[in-house]
Structure 1
Amino acid sequence: MNTLSSNTQAMLYGLGAVLLWSTVATAFTLSLRHFSPTQLLLVANIVSLLFLTSLIVMKGECKALLCEIKLSWKASFLLGAINPFLYYLILLQAYNTLPAQEAQAINYTWAIMLSFMAVPILKQRLKPADYLAAGACYFGVLYISTRGNIDTLEFSNVTGVGFALFSTIIWAMYWLLNTKDTRPSIIGLTLNFAFALPIVLTYAAITGELSHWDQGGLWGAVYIGLFEMGLSFVLWNRAMKLTTNASQVANLIFLSPLLSIIWLSQFAGEPILRSTLIGLAFILAGLFVQNWSKRTKKTTL
């Protein structure tokens, strides 16, 4: 790979991350047939922490990790409580109550939520394109939530849609807080999982989720911890460091929901709903408008 240009390497790393992310909805679906959301989060958290810690040991950054624990334990506790604990707990509840294709599509509107939350928190201003993007995305959410019955507003599962939308708020909040995070990226993520683990364990104990384990969900949880919460982040982080055109790599993310629907139908036996395809088309169109607007703004500066 050293003979390839940095941008080519970045695209390959980015594609690797996107391919892994595209399988996560299927892994969620299969694992939640055996594990509760809390049990799935607990196992995945442990696996991801082991993977990230091993990576830090291999890179010889143990001393830096220990220094960051002393310097930023408060930030690590706060960010760990948000992600992975709260974010994945809510997201998995969405997947547990909605068809995975619907939960995944709605979750992709987090970028729109981020733009609106950045107004009061980062004092950023919205552009007309942001409103257009939001209109397209949330129309897509409405179409998916009602399964095409937008004239009667008959929601298929209000609770599940609520969980999916709430997950976008939590994820957007995490990334807004992340803009002020001075920790090295992989060390910071490792500390998030380290500080989140006792929180997840305590929550699991209080809710009685430490007993009655169905071993059928184990390998799916291991897969999620290793690839969704671990390796995919490392690949994406590497891609963004290598590229000279971040928007080109970022556009790869549009492949993920489309591939995910294929994997869900082939491996999880979930029939593809026409309403999901139409709603997802509106959501992706909205995200494209938002990304195009940001790229245009940068080129005119």
Structure 2
Amino acid sequence: MAKNESKALLFALATVLMWSTVASAFKLTLRELGTAQMLLVASLTTLVILTLVAAKQGKLGQLWPLLKTRPGYYLLLGCLNPCGYYLVLFAAYDLLPAQQAQALNYTWAISLSLLAVPFLGQKLSRFDALAIVLGYTGVLVIATRGQPWTLDFVSPLGVALALASTLIWSGYWIAKTRHQDDPVLSLLLGFALGLPGVIGALLWQGRFDFSLSGTLGAVYIGAFEMGFAFLLWLSAMKLSDHTARLSNLIFLSPFLSLWLLSTLVGEAILPSTLWGLGFILAGLGVQQLAKLKQQQK
């Protein structure tokens, strides 16, 4: 694919805008649907989108041969994403104010650096260590509403689930490093094989009253959080020679998201959320700086 920096920037900005809306979409949809209901509709929506994209690219015929090469691997991917990750993340959003769940979810890149030590044999650099300290200081500030010395959490279970979701998401990306398969087909197989687990969670929760507004919200999540955002970001990375610089645009997303949460959901944004998010983004910034220095070398 020929490089086109202007188009890459446009795609990356569109992706960031999509990501900025999903915290509000999560919270509003959870007012209407249970976590498994929401994930079922969203997963089916993503599955349809990815199938259409694969068909347009003429790749559907490659699905079965690819699955036969590593069925257990793709089943694992499906269990991690969408099944495990989104069920845990949605449960965290159900228990916490969206501003807290969203901010805590941004620590996934820091979790990834931790899990890369035992699973990929990588070593923690001084930049990683600083990022970990900054990131989890931010977590403590957010989870205690600005009073970390009290260790008084709004919802200990909600905080635990939000942090657990970052570990699942990091584990998913570590598993993805094992094989460099076609990203669209890989994601499509994961969503297809993860669907029975989502249906099992729905049967266990026992909620089947799908409202129209809730269903539309879940369709939006499936389209723009799980589907088009992934495809646009993938295209942006392929079109650019400066992927680390494009990745810096992600830092816009949490602030746009907080504004939308205040405007659409009606959450009063706490100063502690802003302070804690500042610590987390500082930690992510340290990691990005280290990547830029490596690229320059």
Q: TM-score, normalised by structure 2?
A: 0.97
Aligned to 2:61: 63
Give the letter for the 1:204 counterpart.
L
Aligned to 1:16: 14
* In 2, Cα distance between equivalents of 1:8 and 1:92: 35
Alignment equivalent of 1:213, drawn from 210, 215, 219: 210
Aligned to 1:42: 40
- Local SS of the residue matching 1:57: helix
1:222 aligns with 2:206: no
Single out whichever of 197-206 and 285-294 deviates more from structure 2: 197-206
Aligned to 1:245: 242
User: Any unmatched runs of 5+ in structure 2?
Assistant: none
User: Is the Cα contact below 8 Å between 2:75 and 2:194 reproduced in 1?
Assistant: yes
- Local SS of the residue matching 1:46: helix
- Local SS of the residue matching 1:151: helix
Aligned to 1:270: 267
- Local SS of the residue matching 1:51: helix
Q: TM-score, normalised by structure 1?
A: 0.95
Single out whichever of 195-204 and 141-150 deviates more from structure 2: 195-204
Q: Give, in angstroms, the shift of residue 153 of structure 1.
A: 1.9
1:91-126, Cα deviation, whole Å (9 max, x unpaired):
000100001110010010010110011011111111
Q: Give, in angstroms, the shift of residue 74 of structure 1.
A: 1.9
Q: Give, in angstroms, the shift of residue 5 of structure 1.
A: 6.3
- Local SS of the residue matching 1:23: helix
Alignment equivalent of 1:287, drawn from 284, 289, 293: 284
Provide the alpha-carbon RMSD of the alignment. 1.5
1:107 aligns with 2:101: no
1:19-69, Cα deviation, whole Å (9 max, x unpaired):
101100000010000101111001101111011101111222111123223
Aligned to 2:191: 193
User: Any unmatched runs of 5+ in structure 1?
Assistant: none
Aligned to 1:80: 78
Percent of aligned pairs sharing the same letter: 46
Q: How many residues align?
A: 297
Aligned to 1:149: 147
Aligned to 1:165: 163
